[in-house]
Amino acid sequence: MKYSRVCLHSFGYELPPHIVTSADLEQQLAPVYERLKLPEGRLELMSGIRSRRFWEPGTKPSEAAALAGRKALTASGLTPADIDFLAVTSVSRDMMEPATASFVHRSLGLAESCQIFDISNACLGFLNGMVVLANMIELGQVRYGMIVAGETAEELVRSTVQQLLADESLTRKTIKPAFASLTIGSGAVALVMGDRKAKDTGHRLVGGACRANTKHNDLCQGGQNSEQETLMSTDAELLLEKGIETAAMCWQAFVQETGWDKDSIRRFFCHQVGQAHSRQLFSKLELDPARNFETLPVLGNIGSVSAPITMAMGIERGKLKSGQRAALLGIGSGINSVMLGVEW
C-alpha cells in the first residue's frame, strides 16, 4: 500500500487516573504466590512492566475514547463538522450492539454526514483503522477523519486475579497462560488524518504492509466464561515466537513497498507486549533498539492503544522531529501484523 495525499494531523490521548503497580497485583495474589512458592517481583521481571493505568470504576470504552478524540480534534484546529469519518478500533467496546462508534460520535458532536463504524482486530485495530481511513482519503471520499480507541482492562485483570485465587489446582506450569492478562493496562488515544489537498500538515503517511499468519490463531484467545467474567488464555512463549516471525515477514514486505532501508528510519513505535518481546523483535529484524521509543514499563500492554499512544507521547517528548521517518509496527493475536511508514 502506498499513499500520496494522506496527512497525519494530530494525536490526542488520555491516561487513566489510577496507577497500579505489578507489586500491587502480586500483593493481591499473595496466597497463590505463597502456595506455589513464586518469588516476589516475578511479574515485573518477566514483563518489564512496573505499572499500568486503570480508569475510575464504571468508565466505558466510548467515554475514554471520546476524551482522547476531543483532544485530537482540538489540536487539529478542525471543528466537529469537518470530520467525515470516525472509527473506533479498541478491543474493548460498550456493548455488542450498537457500535461503540455511535456513542463516541454523539459525545463529540460530529456531523450526521460522518460515516461511523467499529473495527475489531485485537491489538492491531488502530493501525487497521489508519489503513481504512487512508484508503478513503486517497480515493477522495474523505477530507478529514478520526481513529479512536479506548481500552478498559479493569474487568480482565480483576477476573484473572479472582480466578487464580479460586483455583486450588494451579501449578507453576498451569498459571503461565494467565500471566499475560496481568500485563494489560487501560488508556485511550485518537488520531486525526486528512487529505493534504485540503490541508497539508507536512506529516505524510507514506505507505505500509501487512501479513497474516492465522495458523497460529489459537495462541491467545479471550472472551467471557459461563459466569460472564472476562478471561484470556495466552501461550506467551509461542505467541512471542510466532508474532516475531510474522512481524519479520511484514518488515520485509514494508521495505520492498516503501523502498526505505533500516538506517533511514529514525524512530520505531511498536505495539508493546513485554521487554523480552521487544529485545527479540529488534534482534530478529536487525534493527537498532536505541531507536525504539517505549512506554511499556509505565503503561503496560494497552491493546490497540499501545502503538499509537507511544507515538503520540514520543512526538510530545521530541523523539520525532520534522523531516524524520518513523515506522509504526503492530502485531495482533490471530496472528497478523501491520507496519506503516510516516515522514514527519
3-state secondary structure labels for all residues of 204-244:
EEEEEEEEECHHHCCCEEEEECCCCCEEEEECHHHHHHHHH
Cα angle for residues 186, 189, 195 (degrees, 5° grid): 160
Q: Is 223 left (phi over 0), alpha (psi -120 to 50) or beta?
A: left
How many Cβ atoms are within 10 Å of 286's Cβ, its own excluded? Answer: 9
- Encode pLDDT of 93-134 as tens digits: 999 899 999 999 999 999 999 999 999 998 899 999 999 999
- For position 277, what pLDDT does the model report? 74
Q: At 156, which amino acid appears?
A: L
- Please tell me the distance from the alpha carbon of residue 102 to that of residue 5, in angstroms, as a whole number: 28
Q: Which three cell numbers stand for residue 271?
A: 505495539
- Please tell me the distance from the alpha carbon of residue 210 to that of residue 198, in angstroms, as a whole number: 28
- Residue 62 near residue 149, CB atoms below 8 Å: no
Cα Rg of the chain, angstroms: 20
Q: Which three cell numbers stand for residue 105?
A: 460520535
Q: Give whole-number Cα distances, 125 to 258, 291, 303, 308, 342, in Å.
A: 22, 24, 9, 11, 18
Percent of the chain with pLDDT strictly greater than 90: 69
- For position 227, what pLDDT does the model report? 56
Phi, psi of 164 (to 5 degrees): -65, -35
Q: Which three cell numbers stand for residue 92?
A: 474493548
- Please tell me the distance from the alpha carbon of residue 152 to that of residue 260, in angstroms, as a whole number: 36
- Residue 199 near residue 6, CB atoms below 8 Å: no
The secondary structure of 28-62 as a DSSP string is HTHHHHHHHTPPTTHHHHHH---EEEEPPTT--HH
- Please tell me the distance from the alpha carbon of residue 42 to that of residue 281, in angstroms, as a whole number: 22
> Which residues carry out catalysis?
97, 123
- Please tell me the distance from the alpha carbon of residue 344 to that of residue 167, in angstroms, as a whole number: 50
Provide the CA 217 distance to its chain's centre, in angstroms: 18
- For position 126, what pLDDT does the model report? 96
pLDDT-derived band of residue 300, with 50, 70 and 90 as boundaries? very high
- Residue 299 near residue 185, CB atoms below 8 Å: yes
pLDDT-derived band of residue 73, with 50, 70 and 90 as boundaries? very high
- Encode pLDDT of 246-282 as tens digits: 888 888 999 999 999 989 999 999 887 777 777 888 8
Rounded average pLDDT over 57-68: 97
- Please tell me the distance from the alpha carbon of residue 97 to that of residue 121, in angstroms, as a whole number: 17
Q: What is the pTM of this model?
A: 0.91
- Residue 67 near residue 14, CB atoms below 8 Å: yes
Rounded average pLDDT over 44-55: 92
- Please tell me the distance from the alpha carbon of residue 212 to that of residue 183, in angstroms, as a whole number: 24
- Encode pLDDT of 29-40 as tens digits: 999 999 999 999
Q: What is the domain partition of the chain in residue ranges?
A: 204-343
Q: Which three cell numbers stand for residue 306?
A: 499501545
- Encode pLDDT of 147-162 as tens digits: 999 999 999 999 999 9
The closest of 228, 218, 96 to 159, measured between CA atoms, is 228
- Encode pLDDT of 198-242 as tens digits: 999 999 999 999 988 887 777 666 665 555 556 666 666 676 777
CATH 3.40.47.10 applies to domain 204-343: yes
* pLDDT of 180 strictly over 90: no
* pLDDT of 2 strictly over 80: yes
How many Cβ atoms are within 10 Å of 228's Cβ, its own excluded? Answer: 8
- Please tell me the distance from the alpha carbon of residue 290 to that of residue 217, in angstroms, as a whole number: 31
Q: Which three cell numbers stand for residue 235?
A: 501461550
